[in-house]
A and B are shown apart, each in its own frame.
Chain A
């Protein structure tokens, strides 16, 4: 069964600083990988996804992520964080096959200091 690990429960950065959120997955084949963001009281919004091809993927709101097969990682990055980026971020993996089930990590809560 696939699993997703987000090692950092809570990260605090200053506005304007760079950001990297870590994600490691466990899955036998090449996975489909996703990053979602959840603001308080809101549903999840897709930031970006990786299916195949270029291992550096661009998403919305200035986010990008890099797939590294050798490290089983899919880290999310942003060069300059804005106060509005404060939210919870979830990495997810999808297994192909009969039902394409999404498995989420436990999330990383991002706090942005002014």
Chain B
């Protein structure tokens, strides 16, 4: 079974530029999560989708971050414009349902904003 795929793995941009990350969850997984992991901290949930609907985006900085999951499969997270403090690893995870289900994580995208 293929795992959660993410691309790119690494990205370096200058502040005020825009960037997009892509995630393809495990086939059949209805729930998809985006986490931000700043160096030295644990992952923090940014947004959770159930199929193509948003369940929780309370910690998403909506003035600069956006995410979509069209057709309820893969997802894109965008930052525009980027700030220095956005430097982090962005992790995508998926689970088979909404509830107490195991979340499977992708390898992450390491973003450096200079």
The CA-CA distance from A81 to B8 in the complex, in Å, is 34
Number of A-B contacts (CB under 8 A): 52
Q: When the two chains form their complex, are residues B105 and A43 in contact, meaning their CB atoms are under 8 A apart?
A: yes
A43/B91 in contact, CB under 8 A: yes
A43 touches B4 (CB 8 A): yes
Of A14-22, A66-74, A92-100, the one contacting chain B is A92-100
A43→B100 contact, CB < 8 A: no
Q: Considering the chains assembled together, what is the distance between the CA atoms of A43 and B26 in angstroms?
A: 14
Chain A, 59-92, contact with B by CB distance < 8 Å: what is the 0/1 string?
A: 0000000000000000000000000000000101
Given A44-B91, A107-B42: A102 and B103 interface contact (C-beta under 8 Å): yes
Size class of the A contact interface (CB-based, 8 Å): 20 to 34
Q: Which of B41, B103, B108 contacts A107 (CB 8 A)?
A: B41
Interface string of B45-70 (1 = CB under 8 A from A): 10010000001100000000000000
Contacts A99-B48, A100-B99; is A105 near B42 (CB within 8 Å)?
yes
Known: A42-B107, A43-B107, A44-B105. A96 touches B100 (CB 8 A): yes
Point out the residues of chain B lying under 8 angstroms from A101, CB to CB. 45, 48, 56
A49 to B100 CA separation, bound complex (whole angstroms): 10
Q: Are B108 and A43 in contact (CB under 8 A)?
A: yes
Q: A96-B100, A104-B44 are in contact. List 12 more A-B contacts (CB 8 A).
A: A44-B93, A92-B42, A99-B48, A99-B55, A100-B98, A100-B99, A100-B100, A101-B45, A102-B45, A103-B45, A107-B40, A107-B42
Footprint of B on A, CB under 8 Å?
4, 32, 36, 41-46, 49, 51, 90, 92, 94, 96, 98-107
